[in-house]
Amino acid sequence: MIRSARNKVAVVTGGASGVGRGIAEALLEEGAQVVIADVEKVRLERTARELSIDHRLVDVADPASVEALADYVRSRFGTAHIMVNNAGVGAGGPMSQLTLDDWRWMIDVNLWGVIHGVNAFLPMFAGNPDGGHFVNTASMSGLAPLPLLGPYAVAKSGVIALSEALAAEQAELATSIGCTVLCLGPTRSDIADSQRNRPQTDTTTGFVEYKQRPDATIMWREPREIGRLAVEAIYRNELFVLSHPEQFDRVERRHDLLRRAAGLAPHPIDHPS
């Protein structure tokens, strides 16, 4: 397991801004050698310059692009120890209006991007004496989906399932490879403006413009806060990180429905007032 990031090689996708940059900065503070990857060339180069770290232009939806990233890291550093599959996009709209291209874009980046990262870096981790650790960025919407976020919730639910299965497999094999999934709530980033990076071939969309409504009850997290949570989870080999435990009631409501379905809790209709 990774007990210290000092002198370890860490790769962060979506590392040019937002949560990815926050995690990269936290790993740098721990003494890691960090490579950030992103699809936005100008922002990627600016962040790499500001942080004085290595960088690569990568489209996580393209398996060849992620394999090229792994090849570069292997040739440059010999191996990697931490892989943060963070790159993601966000958008919402009613399912009745969404196109198949809307679904494909969301799932290609948010789910396939993580699959590509695990597939490319797992063999590298297996060759390390002290293994390695994956950090996969998901969302509270993966645990408790909300209306108008169908494709996003589907992809993030997949990331959670992938992370759980990967952690269970590695534990069963008694390897030194760990996995953490970040189930994030409201965090300050540019994810609401994700369509700026959408392929130009997708000319129509059912996604609607996203505007966050002012809400004094919402506690917004800063990317650096998420970075610290991620680092601590790596060291403790924790599977789940919940950035907003105060929102756990959403998950509890889902669990209540499951308990009723399993006959472990009464259904309201069974006890009329």
Q: Rounded distance, CA 43 to CA 6, Å?
A: 26
pLDDT score for 215: 56
The reply to whether 235 belongs to the active site is no
Residues found in the chain: 273
> Out of 72, 152, 210, 235, which one is annotated catalytic?
152
Residue with tokens 């991620």: 230
pTM of the entire predicted model: 0.93
pLDDT score recorded for residue 272: 47
Give the chain's domains with CATH numbers: 9-247 (3.40.50.720)
Q: Judge whether 90 and 141 are in contact, CB under 8 Å.
A: no
DSSP one-letter string for 194-206: GGGGS-TT-----
Query: pLDDT tens digits, residue range 50-108?
Result: 999 999 999 999 999 999 999 999 999 999 999 999 999 999 999 999 999 999 999 99
Express each pLDDT in 138-174 by its tens digit: 999 999 999 999 999 999 999 999 999 999 999 999 9
So what's the pLDDT on residue 269? 63
Taking residue 246's Cβ as centre, other Cβ atoms within 10 Å add up to 11
Query: Over 60: is that where the pLDDT of 11 sits?
Result: yes
Contact 150, 132 (CB under 8 A): no
